[in-house]
Copies of this chain bind each other. A is one copy, B any other.
Amino acid sequence: MKKEFASRVSLTSKSGLNAIYPSQDPEMISFTGGFPDATLFPSKELADSFQIAISNQHSPLQYQVGEESIDLREKIASLLNNDGTVTNPELIMMTQGAQQGLDLVAKLVINKGDGLVVEGPTYIGALAAFDAYEPNYYSVSMENDGMNLTELKRILIEKSVKLIYTIPDFQNPTGVVMSLEKRKQLIALANRYDVLILEDAPYRWLRYEGKSLPTLKSLDTQDRVIQLGSFSKILAPALRLGWLTASGEIFSRLKELKAGADLETSNLMIQTVNAYLSKYSLESHLTKLQKSYRIKKNAMMTAMRNYMPENISYTDPKGGFFTWITAPQNYDLDNMQIMSFKPAFHVMVIPSTNLFPDKAHKNGARVSFSSVSLSQIDSGIKRLGNCLSDSYQKQSI
């Protein structure tokens, strides 16, 4: 039988997303998943909110057909407005997590071969979403204060680019925050070279130190920033509830693409989260999350200082779920994970290979501290450090 798939499938079948899948090894300590800590889910409050939602007389089990409840969007708009991003409920649409926003925005702008700038490294799931539209990727190096704008400018001058994808706050996978100066410059460059920006902000409200910087959307004066947000990290992933905010024709075309993709987001989940936000304080919940993740982040930094050999550098994130380790250029952490981290040391990370579109960077890895316990952080990073020290010594001999 003919197995003639669309050409996009040759890309989408190599995303490496399965690197996140759990291991069957009972001794394994895994730093792979970008999962929230399940012990922090507000289960009782969500169960209560669900009962409120399903008892609502406005048929929460029915289709919404173009009349997606305004209540939740009003609350999201007010959260965004309080965060400095001017928007309104009419310019917010609900998505299946922020992930669906990535798919829809690429669907909106990318023809096969169109230029798409991503940070290198970037979110593995974003590449999985974008791959389906067969873009021409341009990867811009990440620095300690965000993407390298000199590289970006060169690309914008030389190439035809339609979209820049960035995670300005606690970037996945590096944990880096883009500086205010770079945020302003990025907007200026997008204006000058007439490019859209996709600002992905799922971790923004999980800051453990310092003060928030303005969102890219708040600095945008030309309606060229599309911003994504999500309840996955701050309430629970299984709600599959994210949102997208944009303006004008971009927004109306995205709504049409959403309808074609899955008609609509679950009214039941929308009403549940609306009831949660009406009855409970998201702010107190965020404070609780920040407190707990701050402790984990600090434990991760302590473990890194204690156990990492001197040739390994790592980032010190001010929020989010990830730190990023960088080994010397000649290290292939993908290979080491298969040959040594997993089988001999029972520890797993996400090697950098699949986090760059060209899959050519082998010496970095994402290390997540969000869903592991404090003792797992200590033991797991000790294992990772020992394993890396071993190879360091072998190389030094």
Contacts and interface: CB of A to CB of B under 8 A. Distances in A.
Interface of A: 1-9, 12-13, 15, 17-18, 20-22, 33, 35-36, 38, 41, 43, 46-47, 50-51, 54-55, 59-67, 95-97, 99-100, 103, 107-112, 114, 125, 128-129, 131-133, 162, 194, 222-224, 232, 236-240, 249-250, 253, 256-257, 259-269
B62 A261 contact: no
A30 to B, nearest CB: 11
Given A22-B65, A62-B237, 11 more contacts: A6-B133, A20-B65, A46-B61, A62-B236, A63-B232, A96-B261, A97-B262, A128-B259, A236-B268, A237-B267, A268-B269
A15 B262 contact: no
Contacts of A128: 256, 259-260
A259 B17 CA distance: 8
A54 B47 contact: yes
Nearest to A125: B263
> Which residue, of A18, A55, A62, A63, has the highest number of chain B Cβ atoms within 10 A?
A63
Contact of A132 (B63, B232, B257): B257
Nearest to A44: B54
Contacts of A257: 9, 12, 132
Given A129-B260, A260-B125, A253 B43 contact: no
A249 B50 contact: no
Contacts of A61: 38, 41, 43, 46, 236-239
Contacts of A96: 96, 261-263
Given A260-B129, A266-B238, A21 B67 contact: yes
Nearest to A190: B1
Nearest to A60: B238
B38 A59 contact: yes
Nearest to A4: B162
Contacts of A103: 260-262
B35 A63 contact: yes
A234 to B, nearest CB: 12
A20 B249 CA distance: 21
B238 A63 contact: yes
Nearest to A129: B260
Contact of A261 (B36, B63, B65, B261): B261
A239 B272 CA distance: 12
B266 A111 contact: no
Contacts of A22: 65-67
A108 B256 contact: no
A47 B49 CA distance: 11
Nearest to A112: B112
B6 A107 contact: yes
Contacts of A36: 62
B99 A1 contact: no
A194 B2 contact: yes
